[in-house]
Structure 1
């Protein structure tokens, strides 16, 4: 007889950090469609967060928005405590944050730029872990981090995105190894060029037509990815269906790394 894995998500709530962004909004909606209550954490864009929440609520689950700044460890931890107090349990943390960065060669990056990106991305991610790991350890849970395909194949002028994501990927592996016995899983998604969010804001200014042509020819599928494709991958990895997958980096890049 085939064993039942039970529901994809238990009672409690899933937290989407960066849930107001282009990909984060779709992840929030897909989590709700899978039956999870969702907390959409946003830094400053309340309007986008509320729009994402409205879409997610159409699936009949509880959805809340919460202002949470990853660079403020005390404030972020307070937000996590409020969610646990309201919903009883935090079982999923998906980090889909992104920042507008300059496309530069390593030789062109200034120390101030480097410190700003590291503080937002790497230190910010650690602040998320510091606040949420004690809760996930109680009854088990899952982290999913939206990373970069650049950790597998180097994209020129993208050091400010790729280097922090590489550090986070290693931190995720460490959590998987150290916390697996407590039922905590971690997985990363190495995404390629996704036609959403930051890319929408940059594609007509930071990249010329030749860049778009070259990149699409490099991708095996000859197209950019969709946020829905990232979201389906993230929700699967967070769910009980991926209960024996941990410490892994799954490529969602259309074959960029081939």
Structure 2
């Protein structure tokens, strides 16, 4: 199989389902998958205008799109969306968990149980609900799951507990799926973004959670000397979902510019 064919989704029946498809990273994933021939079914939380822009970009790429406003903490709502997308598009070949809330930078001593529960509900339960809902369809297609997690699971930045802890659990979920579902031809992997000029980055800067001094210090610890972009993560997600990664499962691909070196 040639590299061009291996990265092309146009021959696959069904659709890719992406949660959090209106966000910075999620939208890049949707648009890149569409540009490579995949139909897209994506969810969004509150930003209807951003979702409409992503849907238009998917259609401009020549792919079919289904959009739904879905609370990923609601298992039934996620299942209804996935089942509907599978029926409409003739199956699901890829499921990508990219939904994630704004995560404030806090020391563990500053986190109250309610805030912690909120972040776990979206990050961990949101990812689990997608796996639970999509697994029967992904089994049928011998497809793959990809979860967007965080490099912070492996090199912990101070005050990043609300991201790293739930994402660490999501990576354990991905390994469980890989270990148990491989017999059905199902693969499961994760992508761990480092410092990205995308997604919640701009909100963290606007709220003062990331200061210029903190950004300068972080960039000095990145071998490539700069933050990454949403497309860097999308490229990794699409690679892991493609036939180029047909013998890769249960792994985490950190996209961090060399932060862990």
What TM-score, normalized to structure 1?
Answer: 0.96
Q: 2:54 aligns with which of 9, 31, 52?
A: 52
For 2:195 and 2:140, locate their aligned partners in 1 and report how far apart those are by CA, in whole Å.
36
For 2:204 and 2:136, locate their aligned partners in 1 and report how far apart those are by CA, in whole Å.
37
Q: Which moved more, 1:152-161 or 1:117-126?
A: 117-126
Q: Return closer, same or farther for 1:117/1:139 CA change in 2, 3 Å cut-off.
A: same
Q: Return closer, same or farther for 1:201/1:244 CA change in 2, 3 Å cut-off.
A: same
- Provide the aligned length of Structure 1 versus Structure 2: 258
Q: 1:222 aligns with which of 199, 212, 225?
A: 225
For 1:251 and 1:40, locate their aligned partners in 2 and report how far apart those are by CA, in whole Å.
23
Q: CA deviation at 1:139?
A: 2.3
Contact 1:71 1:124 in 2 (8 A): yes
Q: Return closer, same or farther for 1:41/1:3 CA change in 2, 3 Å cut-off.
A: closer
For 2:70 and 2:29, locate their aligned partners in 1 and report how far apart those are by CA, in whole Å.
17
Q: Return closer, same or farther for 1:2/1:255 CA change in 2, 3 Å cut-off.
A: closer
Q: Deviations over 1:38-68 (max 9, x none)?
A: 1121122221111011112122111221222
Q: Deviations over 1:101-143 (max 9, x none)?
A: 2211111111111111111111121111111111111121111
Q: How does 1:1-258 map to 2 (within 5 A)?
A: 8-9=8-9, 10-204=12-206, 205-258=208-261
For 1:50 and 1:2, locate their aligned partners in 2 and report how far apart those are by CA, in whole Å.
35
Q: Deviations over 1:78-118 (max 9, x none)?
A: 11111111111111011111211221111111111111111
Q: Secondary structure at the match of 1:197?
A: coil
What TM-score, normalized to structure 2?
Answer: 0.95
Structure 2: tracts of 5 or more residues without a match: none
Q: Secondary structure at the match of 1:99?
A: coil
For 1:222 and 1:255, locate their aligned partners in 2 and report how far apart those are by CA, in whole Å.
9
CA RMSD between the two structures: 1.7
Structure 1 consecutive aligned stretches of length 4 or more whose deviation exceeds 2 Å: 1-9
